[in-house]
Amino acid sequence: MFLGAVVVVAVSHLLSRRQEGEPIAMPKGVEMAVGAVSGLFVFSFAFLAVNAVGELNAARKASLTEASALKDTYFAAQGLAQADRDRVRGEVVAYTRSVIDAEWPAMRDRRASEPTVRQLDGLRLHVYQMQADGEPARAAKAETTARLRDVYVARRDRLAQKDAQVPPPILALMVGAGLVTLTVITLVGRPATLLHYGLLAIGAAGVAYMIFLVLQINHPYSGGVSLKPDAYREALVRYEQIGR
């Protein structure tokens, strides 16, 4: 923002010093074209911002749902036999840590973590093969199985967002329209007062900020405005509370 404001004000100042006479008014057609380009910039920014925020919210919802399902799985294992309970809970903790340490960095590169999914598959296989003697154990196994199914569904939704990004053609359109708008702001008119220079700086900073903001929220798992695995860290704390 600061750089955009400085460049526009500096160039406008240099041009105003070199030019003489009254500013040349833009032809009506050129003025209408400039207005259309500016409107296109605002429209594309609004579209991209809404799209990016929607993707971010979808990723956040999937992560919260998966973390909640993991906590439910950990709790449901309470009714299992001692050995099965310890193993299920240990693998739930290991999977949660793997999501934080391995899969989250992988999703920034639009990849899934194979070791992480193998951990979850191993847990599901163990639960499937468990022997449940007695009605309480069978009920606990059924509940654990159902909660693991929820984990898989939420994981699928979370990974679906790893490829999400704002549409590149519309992003290019917004950046191009923004640059044209900045160019027109720089070249049109001859600033004569501090107020005029201030308005130029504000306009340039606003355009630069909108471009910067969209680039920062371009992907749900990377960039300056991105989702962090806080829900899984909170789940690790909850496991300790449940296990006491």
Residue by residue, DSSP assigns 78-127 as GGS-HHHHHHHHHHHHHHHHHIIIIIHHHHHTT---HHHHHHHHHHHHHH
56 found inside a domain: no
pLDDT: which is higher, 195 or 99: 99
Over the stretch 28-44, which tens digit does the pLDDT of each residue have? 666 677 677 778 888 88
pLDDT: which is higher, 167 or 228: 228
Reported as type and span, the H/E element at residue 209 is helix 194-216
pLDDT value at position 28?
65
92 found inside a domain: yes
**How much is the pTM?**
0.77
How many other CB atoms sit within 10 Å of the CB of residue 162?
A: 20
Could you tell me the residue range of the domain that residue 135 belongs to?
A: 71-163+229-243
Over the stretch 50-79, which tens digit does the pLDDT of each residue have? 888 888 898 899 999 999 999 999 999 888
The number of residues making up the chain comes to 244
Domain count, the chain: 1
21 found inside a domain: no
218 found inside a domain: no
Copy the structure tokens of residue 20: 């003489």
- Nearest by Cα to 145 from 121, 123, 126, 127: 127
- Nearest by Cα to 110 from 223, 213, 219, 229: 219
111 found inside a domain: yes
103 found inside a domain: yes
Is the pLDDT assigned to residue 132 strictly greater than 60?
yes
